[in-house]
């Protein structure tokens, strides 16, 4: 993040700051929370073509911003997030604000309570500007399979991408990744300083990587899942998306910790107020898992992986190849476990207590069936069907139990590696930069999820923390990111290493094509961007 | 439904009633099935229905029980909603109870303690680590589409219940038996569906949804209705003594399903049926005896017993088949991912570091809280007061009876009993005096008897006079008696008792009257 240039930017550039920077600007009176909030909402509207938002909460946001201003003016801000606009994936419950999961089933559903993580942000004075788009019930890796349509990757609307494109804006654009594509696009397009995603198989890190933002999947149980509409309870984690590692650490510190409404939460280790500014990378041992040299890994991504590994080595860190032998089975096991929990979790949507209810009422069964047929898309229905199949008494041992056993082995692999002295693992986050939408939809959701989650998914099996940090732009002008994986509950150490990495790679700020305010900066950033092949 | 401001705000979830009545959504009462009565429910003395055949050994009934005991707690098993009987519909429903998406179960420690206490009282092994599972089926009053239960590793296993009943012509011989408790598992109760035939709709009340249940499984080791009834009665007393369940069957706090089969001893168990819809202990005995007899007759007539669920119809005393839940159910069990394993600890010392002992369940602590159990209390009564064993059963009927603070001193009571024994007052008068002693504990027995003029009339002449008066005023009855119908003498005796307010000895009166009318 180009913090140095912040002071010289016009007011409009305020949106490109990090939370740390803009929080300071708020305290210094250089901008008010209401101004900042209005700018974000304007930006959402200006970039509406990205389809990142399902609901924009302009009115309540302005009220919250007003309260923040009152506090800041009297010198009593609640904390580093007071007055900071944020957005939330539309599978987190928000009190009195529609929560749809991008599904017909929950269109019009207004929860009577807020998810713990959302409430914690609101309690800190952060300003909720909107609910973001996703794959239906977070089942997908592209944010292309929701009832509100696909999310577009903001980086396919930058000058660099458009200049290479021979097609028009509406036919040639890249996917945002998924399933938290709306949240990633919101942070990448400067509509929010922070967004919450959810991460079950990579759903925060994948779009974070493709949209060039920092995306943290904390240790399982460190953040409360209360109010997160579940995909796979045993793997779901609220994810944090920001434009800097430092910001992610700030938010983690606020969100982490036990919640009496979620029995799977754990006590967070004590964390210092902020990441260390000076940190000796020579104390760190970085593992490079050889199994992550997967088929389909793009040359651009491989080049970045090698470049950053070399950076670590040159700076004095120990870099060594490691093996995670069971990782190859992760995706198929995930498929079984995911479908089983989906089948179970989706059973509550029967149209009786809330949500869509079919008008067909010739019998209870007919009503259930049509309600669920009308309410869920194909992807959800297929997973329910598979899950119920895997859970049948006669299949349970063959599928569910086997997958659970394999899950233990996968987790064991990671443990062994960390036990051998490795501090963090460095891997790609995705196989390549973002696919063109028209290419992406050539394959079905199941195939895409299997391909896209290959580097991110094993982490969820083991419940480990992982963070993706953008490192460079590809030849196409789209972000490439790398993932760091840490040990259980060592999220802080993980972020410390990620922070170091972020400072080395110098990833550029986005500049959307046709954004006159940013034209001059756009060129200057491009000049010092370490794009591949340049 | 369209946009509802909040998922559970509607007080009533209306579900249309459908032309297809196939589901078990319907109360058994609405079935108009008529089944020929092939056996009327057994008399109390009939211990074991038997069908005799020439060469083979007699067939016997085999009975196991599945009991759902509603845990007596202020809040539900996994939510903070209150538990109350007869509250307005849907007034005790939390977000979790209504299965709003994003809500998670939070285990109620009180419910775990209740299960552990019950397990200890029933001599169970308490599992230090138990697990929760999801059991899936669609049912209108089960909002999540699954029930959280303990299928794989329940909280308590391998227990035993000792129970007694009376045998013999005068039912004064105490027979003591035991039955193994396979397991006690914690699980959620369902809501209630109310079927309104007139309005053609089903109303759902979720007040009960999520209330904690202990499911107790008793092994098939009983042989008849009386044994099962005695076991359940003893269980009721234990649960009431523990305060873990009010155990009132009529209010549904204790729901008993009976698994019934018949076989010849030594042969494998027969095909069993499950009998449901039993709402009292008396009905339990009736239902089981009926079902045993029915199965025997089916087999006698070369028929086959079907593995089915049957409902007890209290009006006819029969069991009738319940329409099954659309063929075979596969519950697709799965571990509950939102609840970590449930740990209970042996003692405070075994609670791991970093865990607040006040927040966990410690067996030692609960053992110390166990009250005197009914069987121990009965033994104590027999040993301490030297009363008959069968009387100890009468005394220990409910937790409250025996523990009541009685304002009558042992001396006063002894005085009263002495007056009865010595023939100074009649036993019916004694009951009257006892009532008075209760109301006015400051008075002595003698005072009460004197004030109310309750002394026994032992003066022969006076008795003769009274009897004479009665005989004279009932010429018709005397005629009949003289005609040979001695039963009418009882009527005259009743008249004497009324006249003397029960202050006479019936034996004496009978003798006088007999002499007079003969």
CATH number, domain of A166, equals 3.90.1300.10
Give the up-direction half-sphere exposure of residue B121: CA atoms within 13 A in the CB hemisphere: 28
Tens-binned pLDDT, residue by residue, of chain A (534 aa): 343 333 334 445 799 999 999 999 999 999 999 999 999 999 999 999 999 999 999 999 999 999 999 999 999 999 999 999 999 999 999 999 999 999 999 999 999 999 999 999 999 999 999 999 999 999 999 999 999 999 999 999 999 999 998 888 888 999 999 999 999 999 999 999 999 999 999 999 999 999 999 999 999 999 999 999 999 999 999 999 999 999 999 999 999 999 999 999 999 999 898 899 888 999 999 999 999 999 899 999 999 999 999 999 999 999 999 999 999 999 999 999 999 999 999 999 999 889 999 998 888 888 889 999 999 999 999 999 999 999 999 999 999 999 999 999 999 999 999 999 999 999 999 999 999 999 999 988 778 777 888 999 999 999 999 999 999 999 999 999 999 999 999 999 999 999 999 999 999 999 887 664 443 333 333 333 444 443
Backbone angles phi, psi at B28, to 5 degrees: -65, -25
A430 found inside a domain: no
The answer to whether the beta carbons of residues B119 and B37 sit under 8 Å apart is no
CB contact under 8 A, B15 and A264: no
SS3 of residue B423 by DSSP: coil
Q: Could you tell me if A360 lies within 8 Å of chain B, comparing CB atoms?
A: no
Which among A227, A352, A400 has CB closest to B13?
A: A352
SS3 of residue B204 by DSSP: strand
Closest to A199 measured CA to CA, from A227, A226, A171, A232 = A232
CB contact under 8 A, B7 and A112: yes
What pairing do the DSSP bridges indicate for beta strands A85-89 and B254-263? unpaired
Q: Could you tell me if A238 lies within 8 Å of chain B, comparing CB atoms?
A: no
Domain that holds residue A227: 11-281+467-523
Q: Could you tell me if A109 lies within 8 Å of chain B, comparing CB atoms?
A: yes
Q: Where are the alpha helices (DSSP H) in B386-453?
A: 389-395, 399-403, 410-421, 427-439, 445-451
Q: What is the pLDDT of residue A515?
A: 60
CB contacts of A366 in chain B (<8 Å) are 18, 20
Give the residue from B79, B104, B112, B142 with the most A CB atoms within 10 Å of its CB, the best one to mutate: B104
Q: What is the pLDDT of residue B325?
A: 53
Give the up-direction half-sphere exposure of residue B146: CA atoms within 13 A in the CB hemisphere: 26
Q: What is the pLDDT of residue B406?
A: 65
Count Cβ atoms below 10 Å from residue A400 Cβ, excluding itself. 24
A256 found inside a domain: yes
CA–CA gap between residue A529 and residue A275 (Å, rounded): 26
Cα B250 → chain centroid: 8
Which among B8, B13, B334 has CB closest to A344?
A: B334
CA–CA gap between residue A140 and residue A231 (Å, rounded): 11
A297 found inside a domain: no
Q: What is the pLDDT of residue A406?
A: 97
CB contact under 8 A, A353 and B7: yes
Q: Could you tell me if A233 lies within 8 Å of chain B, comparing CB atoms?
A: yes
CA–CA gap between residue A469 and residue A466 (Å, rounded): 10
CB contact under 8 A, A392 and B136: no
Q: What is the pLDDT of residue B324?
A: 60
Q: List the Cα angle A90/A91/A96 in 5-degree steps.
A: 65
ipTM: 0.92
What pairing do the DSSP bridges indicate for beta strands B133-136 and B334-335? antiparallel
What is the enclosing helix (H) or strand (E) of B101? none
Which among A349, A350, A361 has CB closest to B16?
A: A361
CA–CA gap between residue A131 and residue A114 (Å, rounded): 13
Token pair in block for residue B59: 């067939």
Report how far apart, in Å, the C-alpha atoms of A14 and of each of A33, A36, A125, A191 are. 11, 8, 19, 11
Closest to A453 measured CA to CA, from A132, A177, A157 = A177
A511 found inside a domain: yes
Q: Could you tell me if A339 lies within 8 Å of chain B, comparing CB atoms?
A: no
CA distance B305 to chain A (A): 26
Helices (H) and strands (E) in chain A — how many of each? 19, 11
Match 């190849």 to its residue by tokens. A321
The answer to whether the beta carbons of residues A502 and A244 sit under 8 Å apart is yes
The answer to whether the beta carbons of residues B66 and B257 sit under 8 Å apart is yes
Nearest residue of chain B to residue A345 (CA atoms): B144
Match 């006159």 to its residue by tokens. A516
Q: What is the pLDDT of residue B411?
A: 82
CA–CA gap between residue A525 and residue A507 (Å, rounded): 9
Please spell the DSSP secondary structure of B8-35, one letter per residue: T-SS-EEEE--S---STTS-GGG-----
A241 exposure class (CB count in 10 Å sphere: 0-12, 13-18, 19+): buried
Report how far apart, in Å, the C-alpha atoms of B321 and of each of A179, B310, B376 are. 50, 4, 41
> Which residue numbers in chain B have pLDDT < 50?
1-47, 326, 399-404
Taking CB atoms and an 8 Å cut-off, how many pairs form between chains A and B?
153
Kindly tell me the sign of the dihedral angle through the C-alpha atoms of A185, A228, A77, A57. Answer: positive
DSSP conformation class of A327: G
CB contacts of A400 in chain B (<8 Å) are 334
CA distance A262 to chain B (A): 6
What is the enclosing helix (H) or strand (E) of A522? helix A519-527
Query: Which residues, at least 6 apart from A534, have a Cβ–Cβ distance to it below 8 Å?
Result: none
Nearest residue of chain A to residue B79 (CA atoms): A261
CB contact under 8 A, B15 and A230: no
A358 found inside a domain: no
Give the residue from B14, B332, B333 with the most A CB atoms within 10 Å of its CB, the best one to mutate: B332
Q: Where are the alpha helices (DSSP H) in B30-138?
A: 109-121
Backbone angles phi, psi at A424, to 5 degrees: -140, 155
SS3 of residue B453 by DSSP: coil
CB contact under 8 A, A391 and B106: no
Match 């942000």 to its residue by tokens. A121
Sheet hosting strand B212-222, strand order edge to edge: B125-126, B156-167, B173-188, B212-222, B60-70, B254-263, B273-276, B309-313, B318-321
A390 found inside a domain: no
Please spell the DSSP secondary structure of B150-189, one letter per residue: -SSS-SEEEEEEEEEEEETTTT-EEEEEEEEEEEEEEEEP
Which among B18, B95, B144 has CB closest to A364?
A: B18
Give the residue from A100, A347, A355, A372 with the most B CB atoms within 10 Å of its CB, the best one to mutate: A347
CB contact under 8 A, A228 and B25: no
CA–CA gap between residue B271 and residue B157 (Å, rounded): 25
CB contacts of A223 in chain B (<8 Å) are none
CA distance A490 to chain B (A): 19
Q: What is the pLDDT of residue B508?
A: 85
CB contact under 8 A, B140 and A225: no
The answer to whether the beta carbons of residues A89 and A131 sit under 8 Å apart is yes
Kindly tell me the sign of the dihedral angle through the C-alpha atoms of A207, A213, A218, A223. Answer: negative
A521 exposure class (CB count in 10 Å sphere: 0-12, 13-18, 19+): buried
CB contacts of B1 in chain A (<8 Å) are 351, 354-357
SS3 of residue B266 by DSSP: coil
SS3 of residue A483 by DSSP: strand
SS3 of residue A87 by DSSP: strand
Sheet hosting strand A318-322, strand order edge to edge: A53-56, A127-132, A85-89, A194-199, A237-242, A214-217, A466-473, A479-485, A424-428, A285-289, A318-322
CA–CA gap between residue A465 and residue B72 (Å, rounded): 42
Give the up-direction half-sphere exposure of residue A298: CA atoms within 13 A in the CB hemisphere: 22
CA–CA gap between residue A417 and residue A410 (Å, rounded): 11
Residues within 8 A of B (CB atoms), A 190-229 only = 225-229
A319 found inside a domain: no
The answer to whether the beta carbons of residues A398 and A314 sit under 8 Å apart is no
SS3 of residue A291 by DSSP: helix
Q: Could you tell me if A495 lies within 8 Å of chain B, comparing CB atoms?
A: no
Q: Could you tell me if A262 lies within 8 Å of chain B, comparing CB atoms?
A: yes
Angle between helix A19-28 and helix A33-46 axes, rounded to 10 deg = 140
Nearest residue of chain B to residue A352 (CA atoms): B13
Active site residues of A: 89, 179, 203
CB contact under 8 A, B104 and A226: yes
Which among B2, B23, B102 has CB closest to A108?
A: B2
Residues within 8 A of B (CB atoms), A 387-446 only = 388, 391-393, 396, 400
DSSP conformation class of A262: B
Which residues sit opposite B174 in a β-bridge? Answer: B166
CB contact under 8 A, A347 and B136: yes
Token pair in block for residue A528: 């010092």
Q: What is the pLDDT of residue B9?
A: 36
Torsion angle of the four alpha carbons A432, A436, A441, A444, in this order, in degrees rounded to the nearest 10: 0
CB contact under 8 A, B95 and A113: yes
Torsion angle of the four alpha carbons B92, B93, B96, B101, in this order, in degrees rounded to the nearest 10: -170
B476 exposure class (CB count in 10 Å sphere: 0-12, 13-18, 19+): exposed
Cα B316 → chain centroid: 21
CA–CA gap between residue A374 and residue A366 (Å, rounded): 12
CA distance A361 to chain B (A): 7
Backbone angles phi, psi at A55, to 5 degrees: -130, 130
A113 found inside a domain: yes
Q: Quote the number of domains for chain A.
A: 1
Nearest residue of chain B to residue A97 (CA atoms): B5
């Amino acid at each position: 993040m180009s913090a140095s240039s912040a002071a010289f930017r016009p007011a409009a550039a305020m949106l490109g700051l990090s939370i740390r920077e803009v929080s300071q600007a708020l305290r210094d009176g250089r901008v008010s929370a209401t101004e900042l909030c209005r700018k974000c909402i304007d930006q959402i509207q200006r970039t509406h073509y990205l389809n990142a938002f399902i609901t924009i909460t302009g009115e309540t946001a302005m009220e919250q911003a007003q309260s923040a201003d009152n506090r800041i003016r009297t010198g009593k801000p609640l904390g580093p997030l007071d007055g900071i606009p944020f957005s939330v994936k539309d599978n987190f419950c928000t009190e009195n604000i529609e929560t749809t999961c991008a599904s017909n089933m929950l269109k019009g559903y207004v929860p009577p309570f807020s998810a713990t993580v959302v409430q914690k942000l609101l309690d800190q004075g952060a300003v909720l500007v909107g609910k973001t788009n996703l794959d239906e019930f977070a089942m997908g890796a592209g944010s292309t399979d929701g009832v509100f349509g696909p999310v577009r990757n903001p980086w396919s609307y930058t000058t660099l991408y458009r200049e290479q494109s021979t097609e028009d804006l509406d036919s040639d654009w890249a996917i945002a990744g998924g399933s938290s594509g709306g949240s990633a696009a919101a942070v990448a397009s400067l509509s929010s300083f922070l967004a919450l995603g959810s991460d079950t198989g990579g759903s925060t890190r994948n779009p974070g990587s493709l949209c060039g933002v920092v995306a943290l999947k904390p240790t399982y149980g460190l953040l409360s899942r209360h109010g997160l509409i579940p995909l796979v309870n045993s793997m779901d984690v609220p994810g944090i998306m920001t434009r800097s590692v430092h910001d992610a650490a700030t938010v983690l510190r606020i969100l982490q910790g036990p919640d009496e409404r979620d029995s799977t939460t754990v006590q967070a280790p004590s964390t210092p107020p902020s990441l260390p500014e000076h940190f000796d990378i020579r104390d760190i041992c970085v593992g490079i898992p050889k199994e992550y040299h997967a088929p389909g890994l793009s040359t651009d991504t491989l080049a970045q992986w090698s470049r950053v590994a070399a950076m670590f080595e040159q700076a004095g860190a120990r870099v060594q190849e490691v093996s995670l032998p069971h990782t190859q089975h992760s995706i198929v096991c995930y498929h079984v476990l995911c479908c089983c929990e989906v089948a179970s979790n989706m059973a509550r949507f029967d149209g009786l207590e809330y949500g869509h209810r079919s008008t067909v009422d010739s019998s209870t069964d007919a009503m259930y069936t049509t309600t669920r047929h009308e309410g869920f898309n194909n992807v959800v229905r297929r997973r329910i069907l598979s899950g119920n199949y895997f859970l049948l008494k006669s299949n349970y041992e063959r599928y569910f139990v086997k997958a659970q056993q394999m899950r233990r082995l996968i987790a064991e692999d990671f443990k062994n590696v960390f036990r051998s002295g490795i501090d963090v693992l460095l891997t790609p986050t995705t196989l390549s930069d973002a696919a063109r939408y028209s290419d992406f939809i050539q394959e079905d959701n199941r195939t895409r999820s299997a391909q896209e989650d290959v580097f991110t998914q094993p982490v969820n099996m083991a419940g480990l923390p992982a963070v993706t940090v953008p490192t460079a732009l590809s030849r196409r002008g789209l972000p490439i990111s790398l993932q760091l994986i840490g040990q259980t509950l060592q999220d802080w150490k993980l972020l410390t290493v990620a922070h170091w990495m972020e400072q080395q790679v110098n990833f550029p700020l986005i500049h959307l094509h046709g954004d006159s305010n940013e034209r001059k900066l756009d060129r200057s950033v491009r000049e010092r961007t370490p794009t591949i092949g340049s | 439904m369209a946009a509802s401001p909040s998922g559970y705000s509607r007080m009533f979830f209306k579900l249309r009633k459908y032309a297809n009545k196939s589901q078990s959504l319907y109360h058994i009462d609405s079935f108009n099935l008529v089944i020929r009565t092939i056996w009327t429910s057994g008399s109390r003395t009939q211990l074991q229905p038997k069908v005799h055949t020439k060469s083979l050994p007699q067939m016997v009934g085999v009975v196991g029980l599945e009991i759902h005991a509603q845990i007596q707690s202020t809040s539900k098993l996994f939510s903070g909603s209150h538990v109350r009987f007869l509250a307005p519909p849907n007034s005790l429903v939390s977000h979790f109870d209504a299965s709003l998406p994003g809500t998670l179960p939070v285990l109620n420690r009180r419910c775990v303690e209740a299960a552990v206490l019950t397990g200890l009282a029933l001599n169970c092994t308490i599992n230090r680590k138990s697990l929760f599972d999801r059991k899936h089926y669609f049912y209108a009053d089960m909002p999540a589409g699954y029930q959280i239960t303990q299928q794989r590793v329940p909280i308590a296993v391998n227990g035993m219940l000792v129970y007694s009943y009376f045998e013999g012509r005068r039912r004064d011989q105490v027979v003591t038996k035991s039955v193994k408790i396979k397991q006690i598992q914690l699980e959620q109760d369902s809501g209630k569906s109310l079927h309104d035939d007139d309005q053609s709709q089903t109303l759902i009340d979720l007040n009960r949804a999520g209330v904690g249940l202990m499911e107790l499984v008793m092994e098939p080791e009983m042989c008849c209705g009386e044994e099962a009834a005695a076991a359940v009665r003893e269980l009721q007393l234990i649960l009431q003594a523990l305060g873990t369940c009010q155990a009132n069957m009529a209010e549904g706090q204790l729901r008993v399903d009976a698994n019934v089969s018949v076989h010849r001893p030594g042969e494998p168990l027969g095909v069993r049926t499950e009998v449901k819809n039993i709402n009292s202990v008396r009905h339990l005995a009736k239902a089981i005896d009926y079902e045993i007899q029915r199965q025997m007759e089916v087999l006698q007539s070369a028929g086959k017993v079907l593995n089915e669920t049957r409902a007890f119809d209290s009006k006819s005393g029969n069991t009738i088949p319940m329409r099954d839940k659309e063929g075979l159910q596969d519950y697709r069990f799965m571990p509950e991912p939102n609840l970590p394993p449930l740990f209970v600890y042996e003692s405070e010392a075994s609670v791991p570091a970093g865990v607040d002992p006040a927040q966990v369940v410690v067996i030692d602590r609960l053992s110390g809280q166990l009250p005197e159990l009914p069987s121990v209390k009965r033994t104590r009564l027999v040993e301490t007061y030297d009363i008959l064993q069968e009387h100890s059963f009468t005394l220990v009927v409910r937790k409250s009876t025996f523990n009541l603070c009685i304002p009558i001193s042992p001396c006063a009571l002894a005085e009263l009993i002495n007056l009865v024994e010595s023939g100074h007052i009649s036993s019916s008068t004694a009951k009257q005096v006892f009532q008075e002693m209760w109301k006015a504990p400051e008075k002595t027995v003698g005072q009460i008897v004197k004030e109310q003029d309750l002394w026994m009339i032992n003066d022969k002449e006076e008795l003769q006079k009274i009897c004479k008066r009665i005989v004279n005023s009932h010429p018709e009855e005397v005629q009949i008696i003289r005609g040979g119908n001695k039963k009418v003498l009882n009527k005259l005796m009743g008249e004497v008792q009324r006249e003397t307010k029960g202050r006479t000895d019936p034996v004496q009166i009978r003798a006088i009257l007999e002499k007079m009318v003969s």
